[in-house]
A and B are shown apart, each in its own frame.
Chain A
Amino acid sequence: METKVQRSKTLVEEICAIPGGEGILDCIQCGTCSASCPNASRMDHTPRMLIAMARAGMREEVLSSNAMWFCASCYLCTVRCPRDIKPTELMHALECLAVRQSLSNERTRTPIMYRSFSDFVYSIGSVPEVGFMTWFYLLSNPLRALKMAPLALSLLKHGRMSIKARRLKPEAERQLRAILDKAEVLGGMS
């Protein structure tokens, strides 16, 4: 009897399944994205390299890279890419895949910050800056909060810090929750 073994998806296939990720197939490795990126010098792999590594199937190296987390979404690569592949979207796709695998990344605190931010959107539909920052420091490094104290005080002094969070009306909050719960049942983008 013959058993059919289902092959697991390759990294490139997973990337392509996320809207915006499919451009990876068209990359010609010209390096325009890396040359345009304001943060490329801080990344462990430049955007061009990351694309090449993903296509070579280097799953662990790609998903544990700090590169996509240093993308500030400035879209300079996107408007310059001669193949119209939208590298910014590709970075978002890689972030999503990395998060599915694990949140911890020793080389950057950005995933934790993004998670704290998302927790607020999910729970109350808006992002009160004070609450979100506090949550982020608790999750990442409470000691860093001390370093930020002078800055926080100055914001407070200038009337730029609201302690109270803006809340949606209860029925609107329920509506948003119903939509997000349904989205979760639908199981993501791919």
Chain B
Amino acid sequence: MKYYTYFPGCSSSDGGAKAYGSSALAVAKALDVELVELEDWNCCGSTPYTSVDELASLCTSARNLALAEKRGLDLVTPCSSCYVILSRTNSHLKEYPELRVKVGKALAAGDLEYHGTVRVRHLLDILVNDIGLDEIASRVKRDLSGLKVAPYYGCQVVRPGPSFDHPESPQSLDRLIESLGAEATPFPLKARCCGGSLIIPEEDVALGLVNKLLDSAVGGGAECIITVCPLCQTNLDVYQGRVNKKFKTHYKIPVLFFTQLVGLAMGMGIKELGIEKCIVSAEKILAGYIER
């Protein structure tokens, strides 16, 4: 049994990526990983908040780290954006002593202190490096051979780093797909940007980026895409229809969370993993494998 403190983030807990959170917990349990949710966590600090009021954003983020420090375990999140923000708070506090003093004073107003000892980790890192691909392969119960999967990393799981994988041509998700028995397809833009939250205020800009990604994934022969971030999944899945409308394209490629694919391979069901929540339906592509 391995133990971690778990930080779901707003989107995977109760937002549009609920299925990410629930499939992550289901898969972790099946792999003997205990993810104990950080009690009364708040927003990670978020990029938007960082850009409007940096000190407040850092303090928001530091409250989570201070709470996690009391438990003394690594803090794991499935959200790439939370991962980057919480890691950035750690490195900012280390790099800028004056800032550390200010944040310390603010935390003290809430009877908290933070000593900078929490290691922030992404769930993909836990699966690939702590549990290990051999162990995961040994738990596979369903034959996924022939399923062509595009591994989409996006940006923030590997950048700015230092991270557990290469910042521009990462491999961990590719290897995970192979260890599940499926096929990782060539995907040149696998670590390029989906536009992130710009999809809301500047939709045209983000749709252009999503279009390129979908084109790259489909061009590599993929039948589905897997992601490691709620925001990436939203942009590629929920906005796929709007990309088709804008660029007169005909994409119909399902976008799963990587935990859903792991769960499928381990024999879990579509409903149990929340796969029916995908806007671009994945059931048809997966049907053949479910019945095997």
In angstroms, how far is the closest chain B Cβ from the Cβ of A164?
A: 8
Asked whether any CB of chain A lies closer than 8 Å to the CB of B160, the reply is yes
In the complex the two chains form, is A19's CB within 8 Å of B96's CB? Answer: yes
A73 touches B155 (CB 8 A): yes
Q: Which B residues lie within 8 Å of A175 (CB)?
A: 63, 110-112
For residue B106, CB closer than 8 A to chain A, the reply is: yes
* Closest CB in chain A relative to B187 CB, distance in Å: 16
Considering only CB atoms, which chain A residue lies closest to B200 in the complex? A113
Q: A72-B193, A75-B155 are in contact. Are A126 and B42 (CB under 8 A)?
A: yes
User: Please, which residue of chain B has its CB at the minimum distance from the CB of A186?
Assistant: B102
Contacts of B156 in A (CB 8 A): 73-75
CB distance from B12 to the nearest CB of A (A): 11
- CB pair B197–A113 under 8 Å, yes or no, is yes
Across the interface, name the chain B residue whose C-beta is closest to A127: B10
* Residues from chain A with Cβ under 8 Å of B108 in the complex: 182
Comparing B43-51, B124-132, B178-186, the segment that makes contact with chain A is B43-51
A183-B59 contact, Cβ under 8 Å, with A75-B156, A118-B49, A154-B238: yes
Segment with Cβ contacts to B, from A24-32, A51-59, A128-136: A128-136
Chain A residues whose CB sits within 8 angstroms of the CB of B239 once the complex forms? 151
By the criterion CB–CB under 8 Å, are B205 and A180 in contact?
A: no
* Set A112, A114, A122, A181: member contacting B51, Cβ < 8 A: A114
Query: Which parts of A134-190 form the interface with B (CB within 8 Å)?
Result: 136, 140, 151, 154-155, 158-162, 164, 166, 168-169, 172, 175-176, 178-184, 186, 188-189
Q: What residue of chain B has the Cβ atom nearest to residue A162's Cβ? A: B14
Q: Which chain A positions have C-beta within 8 A of B103?
A: 183
Chain A residues with CB under 8 Å of B99's CB are: 19, 189
Q: Which residues of B contact A121 (CB under 8 A)?
A: 42-43, 45-46, 49, 57, 60
Residue of B nearest to A141 (CB): B201
Assess the A161–B16 pair: CB atoms within 8 A: yes
Chain B residue at minimal CB-CB distance from A22: B96
Contacts of A18 in B (CB 8 A): 54
Closest to A154 in B: B279
Q: Find chain B residues with CB under 8 A from A172 CB.
A: 40, 42
CB neighbours (8 Å) of B175 from chain A are none
A30 to nearest B CB, angstroms?
A: 18
CB contacts (< 8 Å) of A79 on chain B: these are 159-161, 167-168
Closest to B166 in A: A79
Contacts A19-B96, A155-B238 given: A186-B46 contact, CB under 8 Å? no
A38 to B201, CA, bound (A): 17
Q: Given contacts A79-B161, A128-B10, are A140 and B52 in contact (CB under 8 A)?
A: no
Contact with A along B79-122 (1 / 0, CB 8 A): 00000100000001001100100110111111110000000000
Docked CA distance A53–B188 (Å): 34
Beta-carbon contact of B106 and A183 below 8 Å: yes
Give the residue of B56, B195, B201, B279 whose beta carbon is less than 8 angstroms from that of A140.
Answer: B201
Residue in B50, B56, B167 with the greatest tally of chain A CB atoms within 10 Å: B56
Residues of A within 8 A of B110 (CB): 175-176, 178-179, 182
Alpha-carbon gap, A86 to B111, bound state (A):
33
Complex: A164 Cα to B57 Cα, angstroms: 24
Considering the complex, give the chain A residue whose CB is closest to the CB of B206. A72
Pair A96/B52 contact, Cβ less than 8 Å: yes
When distances are taken between beta carbons in the complex, the residues of chain B under 8 Å from A70 are 198, 202, 205
Taking Cβ atoms with an 8 Å cutoff, the residues of B that contact A are 10-11, 13-19, 40, 42-43, 45-57, 59-60, 63, 84, 92, 95-96, 99, 102-103, 105-112, 155-156, 159-161, 167-168, 192-193, 195-198, 200-202, 205-206, 209, 238-239, 241-242, 276-279
The 6 tightest CB contacts between A and B, nearest first, are A125-B42, A182-B109, A172-B40, A75-B159, A74-B193, A114-B48
Given A79-B167, A183-B102, 14 other A-B residues pairs in contact with their CB atoms under 8 A: A42-B205, A76-B155, A88-B160, A96-B52, A96-B53, A108-B201, A111-B52, A121-B43, A121-B60, A151-B241, A154-B238, A160-B15, A175-B112, A188-B54
